[in-house]
Amino acid sequence: MAVPIIELREISKAFPGVQALDRVSFEVREGEVHALLGENGAGKSTLIKILTGAHQPDSGTILLRGQPITIPDTRQGLKLGIAAIYQELSLYPDLTVAENIFMGHQPSNRFGMVDWRQMQQRARALLHELDADDLDVTRPVRGLSVGNQQRVEIAKALSHDARILIMDEPTAALTQHDVERLFEIVRRLRARGVAIIYITHRLEEVFLLADRVTVLRDGRVVGTTLEVSQTNQAELVKMMVGRTLDTLFPKDPAIPGEVVLEVRNLSYGRTTRNVSFTLRRGEIVGLAGLVGAGRSELAQVLFGITPAQSGTILVEGKEVRIRNPREAMALGIAYVPEDRKLQGLLLPMSVRENTTLAVLRQLLRYGFVDHHAESRLTQEYVDRLQIRTPSLMQQVANLSGGNQQKVVLAKWLAAKPRVLILDEPTRGIDVGAKAEIHRLMNALAHQGMAILMISSELPEVMGMSDRILVMRQGSIVAELDRQSASQEAVIAAAMGASELHLV
Amino acid sequence: MTSKTSSAVTFLPSRLQSMLRTQEGVLLVLLVVIVVALSLLSDRFLTVNNLLNQTRLLTETALLALPMTLIIISGGIDLSVGSMLAWSAVMLGFSWQLLGLPLPLAVLVCLLTGVVGGAINGLLIAYVRVPPLIATLATLAIYRGFSFGISQARSARGFPEEFAFWGQGQIGPFPTQFVILAALIVAAHLLLSRTGFGRWVYAIGNNELAARYSGIPVERVKFTLYTLSGLMAGLAAFIFTSRVTTTRADAATGLELDVIAAVVLGGTSIFGGSGSIIGTVLGLVIITLLRNGLLLTGVKGDATFMVIGIVLILAVLVNNLVRRR
């Protein structure tokens, strides 16, 4: 068997309070897609950072083509042909595609000035290899779709002549169509002998794409690296969580009560057009649609972030006006936003301060924050949502994605809402935390909460919803109930039947 | 868990190390060093009289530094404080001497002028959404213009003797303004660290969008902060006028730099989100004592500025060094 292009031997790395990696050994061969699985906090990110040179291991060896090496920083990592594409893309929005691709190593002419013509030619050539000829290299990155931005990132990695490409959850924010294009690119790169380390939370992708798979749990490799053909989803899930998950979507059929929220002809700009629907106590309504169909925008209208320009909102039968989030909160509406880091959390602040942020007014005694009451309340939700944190005073930035999401949920559950709007509640979090959040949603609906769930993950929409609303271009174009809904029907409505044959 | 302790300061006892991990700790150590050094250099430095007298000079800067701490934590800045002080002071002199208002009423006008100046800043920043740096840079110029326009470059003087109580008098052994300042420091500390409003200020500074999405009245908080800053400028103008017994349009020129330096030296992040009143007070004390001590030991004024600049950078460096591990 060929020498692996890169090999880690017994790598360990500790941070204050955690052993992030514990004697991890791992190898990748040329022309291989090697999937790396693990719940958030299992050590995947640390492993990537060691490979790219962003972190130094405490002990252990890294071998590149059999030779021991050290990677002192990411610049050196790139020189050695190791590049990473992160979940959060790191492009400069106001620079052009070509400039982004060659950021830091622009081709220059003999006067030391940037050689624009050569830069654009080479950028075009790189994108051509990715079958992305449609991308104009002279336009700014701002406004490109996530899929196209990702292709720019990949071209950037290739411009460094990367032989080892690390992809961290590359499909997390992509539309189905872009996902397929990405798979095509990955297969192309593999055929060219690039070694690809592919990190994902979506198990089906492992079987579609990867040759081998390694599972990390609590900083250790679980068992050994497996050939994908020799394993199955159930086995991988068991390895990741250390237990078998009974069901991923534990939704019981709801017993819907009276109408809590009714919306008639709601409009805002071009993104929300004449939207009407009702939401009853105890039901979970899924809001499906393509990225950009106006689902989050609708949620923001309901929550008063961008107040409706026309239309009527009724809460428990009474007509109301919602002009800002405070008014929405007073009416018992809560919104767990799509981007937890940007819109949901105060990352440098503690679990306690984040959890009580929306209900701080209720925790005042003579105008001062009652820290005992604050801790009691936080502890209650930490226990109830099983938030894994060393203490209530832990900075939220140090928690894993799943636990961060639970903190955002805790903040809004503490406000005791009647209507809970969840925007991509399980995006980018691991299987275990995902199942916990689904169980929680189920329990909340049972207690009579009305839940509106926005999700781009069809299995989640199908599995969790009592009813499904489908949005397209700012309007609700279909309403399907649990029995009659099929994935095909949702997709057909989301894309508009006439566009369906184009895909 | 044996993480490497390859830090440069392992030779320090652990108590001191953990103390140096906070900016306040660094400043406290720095303060002790400065006091010891200066008292060795000059025997007039470490005397009750001298130190109490220093608080008179520190008060006006300190009054402005209190709201400035909150504003910088919220992610903003107020450059117009010096100009607001001058404008308020000129209004005091103008309404008393030229309009013939009774002095207490003139003082009220002075305070109100500050409030109006601050409220204009607040409106521009919170509701018109002009970036704080630009809004207050503009009003820095505008308010200074008002001061010159209203005073016509004349200074008001000849205030009655009892008026001097606020800037030159004493309550027990303490200078009057020191007592006022001490009360306001406690109030500002409680406001920032214990109240819901204080928590909101940190929240806005850390992530304004998330704060908004959590139902925090971001605009109202910002408006309040800048208005508060104006009120404090009015109060500082009153005490300043009482201390120097004259109102001049060019008063407190460049004071905003001293104020911001003290706040930043006190460990408040210029990017917002963290900081404390205790830090700011330590920063103020250090700057004031350095200035006074160096003067007493015969260092020229210009050199004093340089020393303060170097101390500012050193304090931040030490803190960064210790925090890295």
The reply to whether residue B196 touches residue A58, judged by beta carbons under 8 angstroms, is no
In this predicted structure, the answer to whether residue A246 has a pLDDT above a threshold of 60 is no
For A337, the closest chain B residue by CA position comes to B213
In this predicted structure, the answer to whether residue B6 has a pLDDT above a threshold of 50 is no
Q: Which of B203, B207, B215 sits opposite A329 (nearest CB)?
A: B215
Q: Give the number of beta-carbon pairs within 8 Å between A and B.
A: 76
**pLDDT for B116-174, tens place per residue?**
999 999 999 999 999 999 999 999 999 999 999 999 878 888 899 889 999 899 998 89
Per the structure block, which two tokens stand in for A197? 């380390």
All structural domains of chain B with their residue ranges: 52-154+161-320
Q: Which of A36, A32, A14, A15 is nearest to A23 (CA)?
A: A14
The reply to whether residue B212 touches residue A325, judged by beta carbons under 8 angstroms, is yes
Rounded mean pLDDT of A44-52? 89
Q: Which residues of B touch A378 (CB under 8 A)?
A: none
Instruction: Quote the minimal CA–CA distance from B134 to chain A in Å.
Output: 23
For A370, the closest chain B residue by CA position comes to B194
- Residue A162 has φ and ψ, to the nearest 5°, of -65, 130
Cα distances (angstroms) measured from residue A162 to each of A84, A189, A429, B164, B195: 9, 10, 28, 75, 53
In this predicted structure, the answer to whether residue A497 has a pLDDT above a threshold of 50 is yes
Q: Which residues of B touch A58 (CB under 8 A)?
A: 3-4
Instruction: Quote the minimal CA–CA distance from A157 to chain B in Å.
Output: 30
The burial class, CB within 10 Å (0-12 / 13-18 / 19+), for A230 is exposed
**pLDDT of the residue at B233:** 98
Q: Which residues of A touch B203 (CB under 8 A)?
A: 346, 349, 353, 357
Domains for chain A: give ranges and CATH numbers. 6-241 (3.40.50.300), 245-332+418-503 (3.40.50.300), 349-416 (no CATH)
Q: Which residues of A touch B207 (CB under 8 A)?
A: 342, 345-347
Cα distances (angstroms) measured from residue A373 to each of A141, A271, A351, A369, A370: 48, 41, 14, 8, 5
Question: Is A195 in a helix, a strand, or coil?
Answer: strand
Strand pairing class (A195-199; A33-37): parallel
**pLDDT for A326-342, tens place per residue?**
999 999 999 999 999 99
Q: Which residues of A touch B208 (CB under 8 A)?
A: none
**pLDDT for B38-85, tens place per residue?**
888 888 888 888 888 888 889 999 999 999 999 999 999 999 999 999
The reply to whether residue B210 touches residue A358, judged by beta carbons under 8 angstroms, is no
What class has domain B52-154+161-320? mainly alpha
CB atoms within 10 A of CB B13: 8
For A299, the closest chain B residue by CA position comes to B213
Alpha-carbon span A257 to A280, nearest angstrom: 6
Average pLDDT, chain A: 88
Stretch among A105-109, A164-168, A486-490 having the lowest mean pLDDT: A486-490
The reply to whether residue B199 touches residue A360, judged by beta carbons under 8 angstroms, is yes
Element (H, E) at B85: helix B81-93
Angle made by CA atoms A56, A59, A64, in degrees to the nearest 5: 70
Interface test with A, best of B193, B204, B214 (most A CBs within 10 A): B214
Rounded mean pLDDT of B93-100? 91
What letter represents residue B178's amino acid?
F
**pLDDT of the residue at A415:** 95
**pLDDT of the residue at B325:** 44
**pLDDT of the residue at A17:** 61
**pLDDT of the residue at B7:** 42
Q: Which residues of A touch B213 (CB under 8 A)?
A: 303, 305, 325, 335, 337, 343-344
Q: Which of A325, A345, A368 sits opposite B207 (nearest CB)?
A: A345
- Residue A476 has φ and ψ, to the nearest 5°, of -85, 120
Rounded mean pLDDT of A363-382? 94
